[in-house]
Amino acid sequence: MSIGALDAAAAYSRALTALPGLDRAAAAEPEVAPAAVTPAAGVAEAGSFGAMIQSMIGETAATLHTAETESAKQVAGKGDLIDVVTAVGAAETALNTIVAVRDRMVGAYTEIMHMQI
């Protein structure tokens, strides 16, 4: 299957419409190869893409905060072990997602930097 520039642009626009949804934005991401990101990044407005990343990071931070609160409660002897485990698991998944997306973005950036002019 070949991935053209228009496919990449479509994937990005889908990612942007899924702004509040972390999972949907991440799901749209795999369709984009690092090489194909380059033209699409030029098409999409820098601000809106930044806003998407910002909201993703914000959500991840909120999940991590929940995990921390639950862990603190558990240490204090007031928390529930099941809640702690699920909260920490959710935080781990969210962090893994944001790290994977970040790696993809950095990969695309270095790809541009190494481009022969």
Partner 1 sequence: MDLRTSIDVSATGLHAQALRMRVIAENLANADSVAQTAGGDPYRRRVATFRAHLDHANGATAVQVVGITADKSPFGKIYQPGNPAADKAGYVQTPNVNGLIEMADMRAAQRSYQANLNAIEAARSMTARTLDLIK
User: Is 60 a binder of partner 1 (CB under 8 A)?
Assistant: no
Minimum distance of partner 1 from residue 117's CB (angstroms)? 28
User: Is 96 a binder of partner 1 (CB under 8 A)?
Assistant: yes
User: Is 68 a binder of partner 1 (CB under 8 A)?
Assistant: no
Instruction: Give, for 89, the enclosing helix (H) or strand (E).
Output: helix 81-113
User: Is 86 a binder of partner 1 (CB under 8 A)?
Assistant: yes
- Chain centroid to CA 84: how far? 23
Q: Distance between CA 22 and CA 99 in Å, rounded?
A: 12
Nearer to partner 1, 13 or 86 (CB): 86
Output phi, psi for 62, to 5 deg: -65, -40
